[in-house]
Amino acid sequence: MKFAIISAGEGSRLAEEGVQLPKPLVPLNGIAMIDRLIDIFMKNDATSIAIIINNENSQTKKHLAELQKKYPIEVVIKSTPGSMHSFYELMPLLKGEKFCLTTVDTIFDEAEFTAFIENFKVSEEDGFMAVTDYVDDEKPLYIAANESFDITGYHNTKTPECNYISGGIYCLSPSCLDTLQHCMDKGMTRMRQFQQALVEEGKKLKAYPFSKILDVDHAEDIIKAEAFLNEPFPIVGINRGDKFSPNKSGSDALIFNKVKENLEKRGRRVRTYTERHFMDQPMYAPVIFTMARDEMTLDILDILEEESALIINSPKGIRNGGRLEMTAQLLSAEIPSPLSTVLSTVKPVGEQDTPAYPYWIKRGDGHAQVKEDVSFVQTEQEASRVLQNFSKRGIKIAVVNEHLKGDLVKFYGVAESNFFYWYYPSPTVNSKFGLEVINGEATGYSFSENELKRYCEKASQKMGLPIYGGDCVVSSEGDIRIIDFNDWPSFAPCCDKAAEAIATLILKKMKDGKRE
């Protein structure tokens, strides 16, 4: 892939404020800005690096001549009236393959940039445009994009659909050079006009969010840029997709956002993704907290974990929260749970071993997503209908749990902390599917909270789920049996305290793993 740097400006504002060096040679933490870009581009397998500087920039010209001895650099020396004209002068060097273009003073996180490049290399879009919601620009260019991050327009002022501004880093396919030629033919002069023309000509552009992108236009920007580059990499958070949050999306989003807020109050930078966004634009991060459940997301997280990322909850643990895996884990850990069996959805229920009616049939290939994924059946006819429905939906196995009489109790916990919370759920409040009505209102049977907490801590460790929630049934004799144990619940009745405990756990794991 080719790379290009526009560095033909005069840097007049920096000079007026006492900065003696040409802008490309201004050091950030001891490294000239242009050297930093070239180094990053080479780490991302640059086949060539095209650079334009102005006629007056003899010091930069001499510096680049030395770098050309080591790197595949091609230099154009020409003064131009603006950045789009500079881009046009580089155009002959950018034909034939995908390329990335930026200005010399654009400052960004290197790991985010690598993910940006790798995702564009395999994409079919005409362009990826780096965007950020961090606004520190005198005249920002606002970007409108839909939920899939398809860019729909550019605006000089903020509109309701604009959540980002342009970051000044462009990954483009060779076809976009045709649009550049059209802009030049029409006498246009500004890069923002070129970007709008891409949309108007029907080019498929994706907005690619960065946590922060800075420009160095003033002397004070040098201090900001150095501080930014010295910041630790942001902690990444991945929210849960709506299909895995039936009737709970608001509560799930609340705990997720409160964890983010807690981490930020403690001085950590946090970048968040929706699950769909992360699948579309995955990136490596040293530390990730996640509520995700989609198998594609978990596959990506598997790869990142192999590359030494700290992931809470881990993808393996999240998979262990699926119905079939959870049942097996609880049984192997000798944690009291209902009598259970596995059924084929394509065989008649009467030909398979089941508990006595009534019992519960639950989809066995993952987590419940719709009400029909968990059913209370009292007859063979009802059970047959459930299995047939599963089979039609492509669900091949089901888990059957005996029905336990007693008080239904919900619990939440965070490992390596004092946080543990339980309560009696209402049949109509804080319910995914309203199935609590089967057990009815709790009568308040006496049981040992410490015993319940021990069972949960044992399940948490066995399943690899430090952030967990679930359900149990307490019999009239006070016996406890765990009927459900899940990764990262909504913590709806105790959200604030849970968020604090989760943030503390994340920071502790970072310290233990020396990822601070």
255: domain CATH number is: 3.40.50
Full domain range(s) for residue 345? 339-402
Reduced to 3 DSSP states, what percent helix, strand and coil does the chain have, rounded to the nearest 5? 40, 25, 35
Structure tokens at 229: 């580059």
One domain for residues 101 and 205: yes
| CA 231 to chain CA centroid, nearest Å | 20
Q: Token match 């992360």: residue? A: 278
One domain for residues 284 and 393: no
> Is position 319 within any domain?
no
The angle subtended at Cα 148 by Cα 159 and Cα 154, nearest 5°, is 35
Q: What is the pLDDT of residue 139?
A: 83
Q: Token match 């960065």: residue? A: 210
Q: CB atoms < 10 A from the CB of 443, how many?
A: 10
**Which DSSP helix (H) or strand (E) runs through 197?**
helix 191-200
CA distance 442 to 440: 6
| pLDDT one digit per residue (tens) for the chain, 516 residues | 999 999 987 667 888 888 889 999 999 999 999 999 999 999 999 999 999 998 877 899 999 999 999 999 999 999 998 899 999 999 999 999 999 999 999 999 998 899 899 999 999 999 999 999 888 777 899 999 988 899 999 998 888 888 899 999 999 999 999 999 999 999 998 999 999 999 999 999 999 999 899 999 999 999 999 999 998 888 999 999 888 877 677 889 999 999 999 999 999 989 899 998 898 888 888 999 999 999 999 999 999 999 899 999 999 999 999 889 999 999 999 999 999 999 999 999 889 888 889 999 999 888 888 888 889 999 999 999 999 999 999 999 999 999 999 999 999 999 999 999 999 987 555 555 456 667 778 899 999 999 999 999 999 999 999 999 999 999 999 999 999 999 999 999 999 999 999 999 999 999 987 665
> Is position 178 within any domain?
yes
How many domains, the chain? 4
One domain for residues 454 and 378: no
Q: Radius of gyration over alpha carbons of the chain, in Å?
A: 28
One domain for residues 124 and 168: yes
Its pTM surpasses 0.85: no
Cis peptide before 358 (omega within 30 of 0): yes
One domain for residues 101 and 52: yes
> Is position 357 within any domain?
yes
